[in-house]
Structure 1
Amino acid sequence: MKGRIVFLGNNVRDEYGQAALFGDLSSAPVTMEASRMCDAFGLLSGHDIEQADAEQAYIQSPLGGTETYIRLPKELQPDSWKHMRDPVCKLVMSLYGHPDAGGFWQAHCKNALESVGFIEVSESWQSLFYHPELKVMMAVYVDDFKASGPVEALKKAWTLVRSKIRTGAPTPIGRYLGCHHNVVELKDRRVIEYDMHDFLEQCVSHKKASTPFLDEDKLPEEDDNEPGKLADAACSVLMKVLYGARLARFDLLKAVAGLASKAEDLFVRLFADADFAGCRDTARSTSGVFLGIYGKNTFVPVAAQAKKQSCVSHSTPEAELVAANLALRTQGLPALEVFDKVCGRKVKLFFEKDNNTAISTIKA
Structure 2
Amino acid sequence: MQQPPGFIDPSKPHHVCQLRKSLYGLKQAPRAWFVKLFQALLQFGFVQSSSDASLCVLKGPSPVIVLVYVDDILVTGPSSSECNQFIQKLSTIFPVKDLGPLHYFLGLEVHRSAEGLFLHQTKYLLDLLRKTNMDGAKPCCTPLGSTKLDHTGPLLSNPTEYRFIVGGQQYLTWTRPDLSFAVNQICQFMHAPRKQHLQAAKRVLRYLKGTISAGLWFKKGSLNLTAFSNADWAGCTFHRRSTSGYYVFWGSNLISWSAKKQSIVARSSTEAKYRSLAHTAAEITWIYKIFSDIDFSLSQVPTLWCDNISAISLASNPVFHAQTKHIEIDYHYIRELVLAKLLTFQFVCSQDQLADIHTKFLSKSRFSYLKSKLPLGSMVDPKLSLRGCIKADTEIDKQVVS
CA radius of gyration, larger in: 1
Q: TM-score, normalised by structure 1?
A: 0.44
Q: TM-score, normalised by structure 2?
A: 0.40
